[in-house]
Structure 1
């Protein structure tokens, strides 16, 4: 039996853990042990207890509450995540190294875990990246502007990257580990499991990659029960912290559609205040495949997994991103012609207008169906099997340094 350590360091919610769970289950059936080192333990027991997976708190940089400038490139994300402080970064790297020493893993999986990657450089352990690709930047220098609608010069991008590289190499020197030539060398890994489709890759214009397809997060839940009022069906998966939530629900209540909304963690009082004959709200997860099959259109925040789930059923989408990663995914979906999006910064947003546009014009559903036909052979279960088998092959061989 071999041991796999899944490392998640940055980000929020349960999507990271849930995305790797099908692969972890497959590895377990092969007789391997999987341990989760998680940034956020809130959903750990809910997600992992049934399979008896062990989980630990990951060494992370806790925000101090001060507002941070928006990152213009991946090094900017690192700068906002503790790569501006040698002392703190060194301490967290040592903590990760202690985990590696005590757990003795045979494979390291990094899901948006740059400090964990840094700490692993002196260990002779195979390592692999995992995720949508947003946190696996192209291996170039300087790394590209991730807000192309804003003008950021190469000089600014290079300055940010040089600052992060300097901090990183200072920590590596204290760890008696050779320095990085460029920051992209941090991602020297044996395999990069980029779990998306090429059209939805956040860095699609900067790389050619081996895409493993999206990890569809959820198969469990309740069957969708649609309001009897309204003809066309809309399914919405919304977060309670979305800034425009109540305005959106108000406009949906005044629409002619039958709408089912899943809002995790919402209260009975909120449901009572915001429901109507044509709009039902449930805090319980809904079987996404069933909702995608039955609806005419979907609303979500633009996560790759949710977008993919509905596109694979040929359904157009309205994305309501309130994070940069979601915004780029929403733009990619719009570029496909299969959806539209409204940014969180929009003042007095008119949600009904793009929904009406998406419903009335067949070109959006046609583009979504073309996407679904292109990837008709994609199987989430087969994806989990393929990734698990590749993990096995990495563990069977000694570590070969290289970048995928």
Structure 2
């Protein structure tokens, strides 16, 4: 009897930006008749977001002690370095844990969202389709992982690709796996589904298959509200969080603020200071048309939603992937990027929004371009890739 289970994995990264896409993909797979198991870095968050009828949720193995003090990542190899990939005694137990999980679930297919260790563990045994935005799905056809743009000098030195490659190959040898000739070759799986606009793909010159575009629904284009209304999507671990929330608390315009990872006690303090908070992450398709300006940390889903809605953006990047995205948005003329040391300048940017008609018009012009662009159905592209991967493996 053929296996009918699909394992959807989330190993690295934080927040709803990983579980919500897996949720959408899960519904598509369930409609096609597959049983689902979700192995998630944060099973509590996943359990709150996923309906129990969709599939089982279990905890995913991940590196609990990533390397600190190494600076910002400069490419995907740097990310692996932070996760202990240069040390066999760190990587081997992680891959073993993923192998044990895969053996227990016995899936016909793995859908991997930001799950490099799951990809290694499945190598040669279970077909894998990678899903995610551009940075999280680097193409396997380069000699090394290319560097991102950045604006912060505090970055890692070029990652020791050779050392990481040696470590990965030693780990694979424990399972009689075929050695890699280059580090990006580890991303050579049964398929990749890249859910972002081509303009936001950092590997655009190297990618040999087309990106599928935004997976999540995008907002409609609407005229701006008459008055300044700011929507802020923030993370509680942002280095300048107190500065930003203090400014927003004392602002004299409408604000709608959602903070990821905020404790109830901290939320109560912020509300008492005059900051209006949303208790749950509001759907961007509803929130952005009602806003005139958006503050966020440069996540791909929020950035794309702002582009389609025609809303100017203030990006507060927390890492170099977001800095890369912010640089592209600034080149388009639709965003201002503020590093944490400049977060106190937010009032100046608010004033610029109100006086700079060109900024608003640039955002609307870009929105018309994207709204009028013909794009393939990303869900159809995903299902085609997933079914083809299973057929080839059977």
- Bin of the TM-score, shorter chain as denominator length: 0.7 to 0.9
Q: 1:64 to 1:127 in 2, by over 3 A?
A: closer
Is the CA contact (8 Å cut-off) linking 1:27 and 1:388 kept in structure 2? yes
Q: 1:375 to 1:328 in 2, by over 3 A?
A: same
Residue of structure 1 in register with 2:134 after alignment: 133
Residue of structure 2 in register with 1:237 after alignment: 233
TM-score, scaled relative to structure 1: 0.85
Please state how far the C-alpha of 1:246 moved relative to its aligned partner: 3.1
Please state how far the C-alpha of 1:24 moved relative to its aligned partner: 0.6
Q: CA RMSD in A?
A: 2.9
Residue of structure 2 in register with 1:392 after alignment: 387
1:210 aligns with 2:210: yes
Q: 1:379 to 1:92 in 2, by over 3 A?
A: farther
Unaligned runs of at least 5 residues, structure 2 = 220-224
Once the two structures are superposed, residues 306-357 of structure 1 have per-residue CA deviations (whole angstroms, 9 ceiling, x without a partner) of: 111121111111111112222222222112111111112x156211112322
Q: 1:382 to 1:281 in 2, by over 3 A?
A: same
TM-score, scaled relative to structure 2: 0.87
Unaligned runs of at least 5 residues, structure 1 = 220-227, 400-404
Please state how far the C-alpha of 1:301 moved relative to its aligned partner: 1.2
Once the two structures are superposed, residues 276-318 of structure 1 have per-residue CA deviations (whole angstroms, 9 ceiling, x without a partner) of: xxx6322233232121112111111110101111211111111
In 2, the alpha carbon distance for the partners of 1:16 and 1:73 equals 20
Please state how far the C-alpha of 1:112 moved relative to its aligned partner: 1.4
Please state how far the C-alpha of 1:149 moved relative to its aligned partner: 4.5
Please state how far the C-alpha of 1:386 moved relative to its aligned partner: 3.6
In 1, the alpha carbon distance for the partners of 2:58 and 2:106 equals 15
1:4 aligns with 2:6: yes
Residue of structure 2 in register with 1:271 after alignment: 270
In 1, the alpha carbon distance for the partners of 2:328 and 2:357 equals 19
Is the CA contact (8 Å cut-off) linking 1:118 and 1:186 kept in structure 2? yes
Once the two structures are superposed, residues 89-137 of structure 1 have per-residue CA deviations (whole angstroms, 9 ceiling, x without a partner) of: 22222222222223221111121111111122221x3221111121222
In 2, the alpha carbon distance for the partners of 1:377 and 1:385 equals 20
Please state how far the C-alpha of 1:382 moved relative to its aligned partner: 4.4
In 1, the alpha carbon distance for the partners of 2:268 and 2:112 equals 40
In 1, the alpha carbon distance for the partners of 2:348 and 2:198 equals 29
| Aligned residue pairs, count | 382
In 2, the alpha carbon distance for the partners of 1:370 and 1:36 equals 40
